[in-house]
Amino acid sequence: MNIVLLGAPGAGKGTQASMIEEKFSLVHISTGDIFRANIKGGTPIGKIAKGYIDAGKLVPDEVTCKIVENRLGEEDVKGGFMLDGFPRNIFQAEQLDKFAKIDVCVNIDVDIDLLMDRICGRRVCACGESYHVSTLNGETKCKKCGGTLYRRDDDNPETVQKRLDTYFKETAPVADYYKKQGKLFTVKSGKGSPKEVFAVIAEKLKEY
Ligand code: ADP
Ligand code: ZN
């Protein structure tokens, strides 16, 4: 089973991704994580990506598509993968169809007014876990691995606003792209806990 996870910044893609990864043994591929690792490692890709990410813009398609195509060519994804953060515009979705077969697009739909607070209150761990300050009670370490939690550089109000603008302009239309292919599954997130949202997604993914 090959899936695409879609949703605005702050929709809870990362949280759902780690639960899906565990239950369905899919290889989790997050383009955001790949870029952040490249920035940390000071690679040429990292140098290109940083300016775009700090500005809340998309990294150019030719860079991003190549990374994903290469990654999907590796052996470990043969048993199924989950893309998180890709495709982020129609062009990327079209390119993806040329080098992979997608079974379903899980679209996490969240009320816009929840997003700003969710992202600005987000604290992440290098292992991929993320938390919200409102439930951390001052805790500064990751529950899963003990790593020190931190706020992502692009999780500040100004950059978040730009990321949301980019999302509505470029990424939201990707849902329609998969709808036309009969592959879209939308789950409402917001009032429900991450576990409840996951239960709905898991029920759907059992079909594949
Ligand atoms: P979020 O979903 O919380 O906005 P991500 O970790 O998925 O964060 O992505 C962080 C940043 O990395 C994006 O704002 C963008 O600049 C860049 N990025 C990630 N995926 C892509 C992509 N598919 N195409 C272009 N840029 C991307
Ligand atoms: Zn951790």
Predicted confidence (pLDDT) per residue in 134-159, tens digit:
999 999 999 999 999 999 999 999 99
Nearest CA to ligand 1 atom 19: 32
If you average pLDDT over residues 157-163, what whole number do you get? 95
Q: Any residues with CB less than 8 A from the CB of 155 and at least 6 apart, and which?
A: 119, 120, 122
* Topology (CATH level 3) of domain 2-26+79-205: Rossmann fold (3.40.50)
Q: How far apart are alpha carbons 10 and 69 in whole angstroms?
A: 26
Q: Is the CB of 52 under 6 A from ligand 1?
A: yes
Task: Quote the ligand 1 centre to 56 CA distance (angstroms).
Answer: 8
Name the residue ranges covered by the structural domains of the chain: 2-26+79-205
Ligand nearest to the CA of 153: 1
Residue ranges in 41-144 assigned as alpha helix (H): 44-54, 61-72, 90-99, 112-120, 133-136
Local confidence band at 193 (pLDDT 50, 70, 90 cut-offs): confident
The pTM score is 0.92
Residues annotated as catalytic (active site), given as ranges: 13, 88, 122, 152, 163
Q: Are 123 and 130 spatial neighbours (Cβ–Cβ below 8 Å)?
A: yes
Task: Quote the ligand 2 centre to 146 CA distance (angstroms).
Answer: 6
Q: How far apart are alpha carbons 13 and 113 in whole angstroms?
A: 17
Q: How far apart are alpha carbons 82 and 67 in whole angstroms?
A: 15
Local confidence band at 93 (pLDDT 50, 70, 90 cut-offs): very high
Q: How far apart are alpha carbons 119 and 136 in whole angstroms?
A: 14
Q: Which of 4, 13, 57, 59 to mutate to test the pocket of ligand 1 (most atoms within 8 A of CB)?
A: 59
Q: Which of 13, 31, 89 to mutate to test the pocket of ligand 1 (most atoms within 8 A of CB)?
A: 31
